[in-house]
Structure 1
Amino acid sequence: MDLDDAATTVKFLIRDRGSNFTKAFDTVLADAGIPTVLCNVRTPRMNAITERWIGSVRRELLNRTLIWNHEHLRQILRDYEFHHNTHRPHMGLSGAAPLKPLPPDITDLDAFRVRRTRRAGGVINEYRTVA
């Protein structure tokens, strides 16, 4: 495994104590200068935000996409990240996206049309109102 420039932006890796992480996994990260931080024992909420994001990526994108190569994976993950942070409604934010506030309420629907934008190769669709 070759991390090259990707290892320069990673400060540390937080992981659980699962059996799927072997000593070889930790060795590769240590060789790249990335320290590994283990989650505490019996603290299921410690890694909850990451687990939630990974679950969303799997359900909404990866389960519906055939990945061709590493570059294709990086591209669709970038597209999904942009969609997730700028368009996808989040229940904890009252339907707003993290990087974009809710638009004002629309009272006259006849004055607007809906425009669809495809993301991640058409797997995800975003809908916006246009005048």
Structure 2
Amino acid sequence: MASNICDKLRAGVATGSAAATRALATELAAALPDDTVLALHGDLGVGKTTFVQGLAAGLGIHDPVTSPTFNLYTLYPGPRRLLHLDAYRLENGGQVDALMLEDFLISPWIAAIEWPERIADWMPPDAWHLELGITADEQHTLRLR
């Protein structure tokens, strides 16, 4: 089943609702190896936080997930911890290091990073990259690369 969701996302998926986007993320959560960084690429409003809400559900996290824009990051406890980082206001990976996130990443964990291009020098080479977009007819698109 894990390869099915990954294959589906590699081919590209369009969703017509936030619930469908969350459902895909919930399914992907089971396929993500422990201690994985998931880079979420896409413009404002494409559903990155909605996707993270689904990840949290798939990781067994029951806390409400909101955008960490003003806090920079939020750590959600669960069977696998979820670190949700919004890197939009960061300028480089050194600023991520200064947050000392490693102190909170006690295995098993998943880190979902919004705006990863802002901290490209910090991103690990084995990070998973997901492109999120929106079409003119308001369909949300997701593609794992």
Per the normalisation by structure 1, the TM-score is: 0.24
Query: Going by fraction, where is helix more abundant, 1 or 2?
Result: 1
Q: Tell me which structure has the larger Cα radius of gyration.
A: 1
Query: Going by fraction, where is strand more abundant, 1 or 2?
Result: 2
